[in-house]
Structure 1
């Protein structure tokens, strides 16, 4: 059940104060187990061809990051093993997808899937998601997905959660009118945190009309490996969709 308490709201305010003088970052592990030889080769040779370089100026027409048939763009932040991102890219060949993931093993896994399926509509970014959002031109993205992010459960680490007032403002800037931010978490506290933050933003509207809208996955949702593990362990995920209100 999604609820916000005085304790949660108080904690939210304290965490926001702690990041008031920073962008807010996407925190994650950058290294994991040793890569297999082929995965290491993909990181060395395929990743540079797909990587977005924010050291260069953003293109005036962002879809030129992809092939000519791309009609719109989406972003997935922290794609993990890439199951959801790959499924979306295959299902929507005329949409360009940017995957942001600082964890090198996750990057290697999605590179292997891109190679295996000959996927041409994914570009990758291995850095801080907030820096990518700042680099992208305004009104660039039709949708942003954040699927099972690290909840950073300890109070002193709440400032590391991706969903903060600053990142909500950054998402608002890059989303098109009626663009969407979609969030999934099996951690009730982080779901409540996200809902509380998003509801106080004048730029977004929560689309849920009934309980099943946030209790059940949206149509076409691809379960991730982590999501399946959470289900096996008895944790129920919350599925939140927020729509960007048209700019006034």
Structure 2
């Protein structure tokens, strides 16, 4: 019994599939499997077989393969090339790339530990990692990533002297430090710098707090670093007895 004898037609049996049209007699035998989803194939098995003349299960197998997520194969490059690529990506900012990249594969995990990728550390304004700029995050970075760090920008971080203490203890190579707008720091920060970081040349204490930018901490810093200190930014703070700091410089 054919289609006309039984009174059945694909057009009448398939009203809910506006994107699937019956093949005309003069159409080619080409058939796009991707025009059907899995549910379409299950519900319209007769239609698919009639249109293509192929086994339903073969079509379903091909469709399943096409719908599977494809893993891109990483190119086989020397580690030096990968390091160059990572350095270009992270120039000016490490995040979020340096946090997500180690999760890709073991090779990338090991590459992200390269010291040359952590000599300069900045977290750009905005985003998830900007919201996580706390003592705990800084302490984790200091203990696990920042040993080779020479320059770090902590502008606006919600940190206290506890985070700075761990940072200076684990990063003795620090030369440039920016803690501007870190308003919860105390005068103990100056003692942490002078005790643990002998190579400091640039300090930015702008818009911090009067306790940190006072005569005793600043005199301690100036006397410790002396001629090697190239820049000391104290703008945006109220300071009493500034003449004593000038005397220490002279």
Q: Which structure has the bigger radius of gyration?
A: 2
Structure with the bigger percentage of strand:
1
TM-score, with normalisation over the residues of structure 1? 0.32
Structure with the bigger percentage of helix:
2
Higher RCO (CA-CA < 8 Å; seq separation 6+)? 1
